[in-house]
A and B are shown apart, each in its own frame.
Chain A
Amino acid sequence: DGGITQSPKYLFRKEGQNVTLSCEQNLNHDAMYWYRQDPGQGLRLIYYSQIVNDFQKGDIAEGYSVSREKKESFPLTVTSAQKNPTAFYLCASTGGDGEKLFFGSGTQLSVL
């Protein structure tokens, strides 16, 4: 099955710790995105990458970092600089027709 796989489903972070959220896609999509969703709110763009080895900041990039070493993978690191990391994190991609953003199933990050 083609799709976007995010792991883990649930993640807990201790204070001062960096954690990395995984996102893998087998859709052969060029562009990948990370969004953050807080309870009862819409999604906000953290980072995006339109091509391997290149990425740009979104609206709320502070406290986050990404890499895009492979077309299939776009991991997101939530650093200790992110003081309010508790949220639902969604990875997405666009390809073929350039439109229609497809989402993964999300990772819920909580702080211990």
Chain B
Amino acid sequence: GESVGLHLPTLSVQEGDNSIINCAYSNSASDYFIWYKQESGKGPQFIIDIRSNMDKRQGQRVTVLLNKTVKHLSLQIAATQPGDSAVYFCAENNAGGTSYGKLTFGQGTILTVHP
């Protein structure tokens, strides 16, 4: 119905706290997962990715955890800053390496960081 998608999950944190954003994916055949950050009126920005043969991957201030048993993905942001405020999307790919850009996106989570 019309209300689908209008009630995004939200996460509100204080500056300096660690943030954890969760995502449940749908396809057990997916073998590549990505997190994107999207600011209002802009295109999504790549944050970090992980392949299904890994459980954890770290970047600068970010860590992605993958639990294939329960089909769960999480994004951890350390020392969250006001500039991290945005909508965060997880995405999965099950094209088996033939077309990495064919992604299925989650609904998104709104992160708000208070100074």
B62 CB to nearest chain A CB (Å): 15
A104 near B46: Cβ-Cβ < 8 Å: no
Whether a CB of chain A sits under 8 angstroms from the CB of B99 is: yes
B99 near A50: Cβ-Cβ < 8 Å: yes
B102 near A45: Cβ-Cβ < 8 Å: yes
> In whole angstroms, how far apart are the Cα atoms of A40 and B1 in the complex?
13
A90 near B43: Cβ-Cβ < 8 Å: yes
A32 — nearest CB in chain B belongs to which residue? B101
Contact residues of B: prevailing secondary structure: loop
Q: Which of A42, A43, A103: most chain B Cβ within 10 A?
A: A42
> In whole angstroms, how far apart are the Cα atoms of A109 and B4 in the complex?
20
B105 near A98: Cβ-Cβ < 8 Å: no
Q: Mark A9-47, 1 if CB is under 8 A from B, else 0.
A: 000000000000000000000010100001111111100
Question: How many residues on the B side are at the interface (Cβ–Cβ under 8 A)?
Answer: 26
When A103-B43, A103-B44 are in contact, do A42 and B100 touch as well, CB less than 8 Å?
no
A41 near B99: Cβ-Cβ < 8 Å: no
Q: Mark B41-79, 1 if CB is under 8 A from A, else 0.
A: 111111001000000000000000000000000000000
- Residues in B whose Cβ lies below 8 Å from that of A1: none
A71 CB to nearest chain B CB (Å): 15
A43 near B89: Cβ-Cβ < 8 Å: yes
B6 CB to nearest chain A CB (Å): 5
28 residue pairs of the A-B complex, CB under 8 angstroms, read A31-B100, A33-B102, A39-B6, A40-B6, A41-B4, A41-B5, A41-B107, A41-B108, A42-B89, A43-B44, A43-B91, A43-B103, A43-B105, A48-B101, A48-B102, A58-B102, A92-B43, A99-B32, A100-B46, A100-B49, A101-B34, A101-B46, A102-B46, A103-B43, A103-B44, A105-B42, A106-B42, A108-B41
Q: Which 10 A-B pairs have the closest CB atoms?
A: A42-B105, A103-B43, A41-B5, A40-B5, A94-B101, A99-B100, A43-B105, A101-B101, A40-B6, A33-B101
